[in-house]
Amino acid sequence: MAAGRLSFRNVTALAPMVRVGTLPMRLLALDYGADVVYCEELIDIKMAQCERMENGVLGTVDFVAPDGRVMFRTCEKEKARVVFQMGTADPDRALTVARLVEKDVAAIDVNMGCPKEYSTKGGMGAALLSDPDKIEAILKKLVTGVSVPVTCKIRILPSVEETVNLVQRIETTGVAAIAVHGRFKEERPRHPVHCDYIQAVAQAVSIPVIANGGSLDLVKAHSDIEKFRKETGASSVMLARAAMWNPSVFRSQGLLPVEKVMEEYIKYAIRYDNHAFNTKYCLCQMLRDKVESPLGKQVQAAQTNAEISTAYGLQRFYQEVQEELQAKRDALQSDIQL
Ligand code: FNR
User: What value does the mean pLDDT take over residues 106-122?
Assistant: 91
> How many Å apart are CA 209 and CA 200, to the nearest integer?
11
Q: Please tell me the pTM assigned to this model.
A: 0.97
ipTM above 0.90, yes or no: yes
Tell me the best of 47, 181, 278 to mutate to test the pocket of ligand 1, counting ligand atoms within 8 Å of each CB and taking the most.
181
* Beta-carbon-side half-sphere exposure of residue 45 (alpha carbons within 13 Å): 5
Q: What percent of the chain has pLDDT over 70?
A: 99
Report which protein residue has its CA nearest ligand 1's atom 14: 17
The whole-number pLDDT of residue 335 equals 82
DSSP label at residue 37: E
pLDDT band at 216 (very low <50, low <70, confident <90, very high): confident
pLDDT at 3 > cutoff 60: no
Q: Which of 39, 50, 75, 114 is catalytic?
A: 114
* Beta-carbon-side half-sphere exposure of residue 41 (alpha carbons within 13 Å): 19
The whole-number pLDDT of residue 209 equals 98
Q: Give yes or no for residue 267 CB within 6 A of ligand 1.
A: no
The whole-number pLDDT of residue 87 equals 96
| Nearest residue to 100 via CA among 145, 33, 143 | 145
Residue of higher predicted confidence among 133 and 336: 133
Mind listing the pLDDT tens digit for each residue in 287-302? 999 999 999 999 999 9
Catalytic (active site) residue 114: yes
Q: Are strands 36-38 and 42-43 parallel, antiparallel or unpaired?
A: unpaired
pLDDT band at 338 (very low <50, low <70, confident <90, very high): low
Query: Which of 121-130, 247-256, 317-326 comes out lowest in average pLDDT?
Result: 121-130
